[in-house]
Amino acid sequence: MQHKFEFEYEELADITLLSIEDKELLEAAQKATQNAYAPYSNFLVGAAARLSNNSIAIGANQESASFPVGVCAERALLNSVGSQFPDLSITTMAISYQPIGKDANEPISPCGMCRQSLLDFENRYGAPIKIILSGMKGRVMVLKTASHLLPFGFDGAILK
């Protein structure tokens, strides 16, 4: 039998078309790029999460002199939220970036490891995480759930 995986996402011409809450969140992600420690790639990534109590938490990539030890903005944020606020789920995450000396007009999308971490978080709290992707300007993509980014992702339920 043949199967097909497809998902829908929304594309907006720019940040002004988001709701007030989501615009605030994307702006927080854009600002969080300034907290990145990225002396090796010069690629500053910022992420912001809206938590279930409506507060906002931020994360930024933190690189290491031993390159593989570095952590992406998304996982820095997820690990921080999971550690500090284990009773709160994440309703929405916005991700942006600023490469030093270059424009950021196009959205970026999380790496494979971060997709797994996002999926783990969704499964842990049983709640979808809406994903907002955009650069510092230009179009914005909105996905209903992080799980759309990782078809056939590994679900830890099988370990129980």
So which residues are the catalytic ones? Answer: 74
Per-position x/- string for 100-119, each x denoting binding to ligand THU as judged by CB under 6 A, each - no binding: --------x-xx--x-----
Total of residues contacting ligand THU (CB under 6 A): 14
Region binding ligand THU by CB under 6 A among candidate stretches 14-22, 41-49, 123-131, 140-148: 41-49
State the Cα–Cα distance between residues 123 and 157, nearest whole angstrom. Answer: 9
Is there binding between residue 135 and ligand THU (CB under 6 A)? Answer: no
The strand pair at 56-60 and 140-143 is best described as: unpaired
Query: Residue 107: CB partners within 8 Å, gap ≥ 6?
Result: 133, 134, 135, 138, 139, 140, 141
Is there binding between residue 25 and ligand THU (CB under 6 A)? Answer: no
Is there binding between residue 72 and ligand THU (CB under 6 A)? Answer: yes
Is there binding between residue 41 and ligand THU (CB under 6 A)? Answer: yes
Residue closer to ligand THU by CB (options 74, 122) is 74
- Count CA atoms closer than 13 A to 160's CA, side-chain side: 4
The strand pair at 43-51 and 56-60 is best described as: antiparallel
Distances (CA, A) of 18 to 8, 36, 90, 100, 153: 17, 25, 18, 26, 29
Is there binding between residue 45 and ligand THU (CB under 6 A)? Answer: yes
Judge contact between 146 and 118, C-beta under 8 A: yes
Work out how close the CB of 95 gets to ligand THU at its nearest, in angstroms, rounded to a whole number.
Answer: 6
Is there binding between residue 63 and ligand THU (CB under 6 A)? Answer: yes
Number of other CB atoms surrounding residue 13 within 10 Å: 9
Is there binding between residue 127 and ligand THU (CB under 6 A)? Answer: no
Interface pick for ligand THU out of 17, 23, 43, 136 (rule CB under 6 A):
43
